[in-house]
Structure 1
Amino acid sequence: MTIKVVRGNPTPEELAAALAVVRARAAAASGTPSGAPREPDAWANPARLALSRLPAPGPAAWGRTYWPS
């Protein structure tokens, strides 16, 4: 990426700030995440449903469905 200053005489700090903004906008537009890859959310893991015990079959099984084990 090449940036050319057309007018003015920016200080190194001003140029660094402008470059940081341009890079952040370019990264947001391209969809590339910044930093390390994120770990998948535990709520999105379908295996978490299989880890819980199923209620014992019987006439009152529906009432035990939402009680913690």
Structure 2
Amino acid sequence: MLRVVKGDLTPEELAALVAVVAARNAAAAHAAARTEPKVRSQWGHPARMARAPHRVGPDLWRRSAFGG
């Protein structure tokens, strides 16, 4: 809502004022729409559900508990 509280505007001046305010609001809305998308967390990515392949070697069953 736009309200002129002081002064005596002609219809042309009021139209110009409304056009400037509308253009500024449209530019701000357009700039907000162009923001970069948020980076999605990889926590729930389906590729994380696939486990690592089993490693073969001497004594690896013991070290597997420690992520080694």
Whether TM exceeds 0.5 here: the answer is no
Q: Which has the higher helix share?
A: 2
**TM-score normalised by structure 2 residue count:** 0.43
TM-score norm. by structure 1 comes to 0.43
Which fold has the larger relative contact order, with Cα–Cα distance below 8 Å and residues 6 or more apart in sequence? Answer: 1
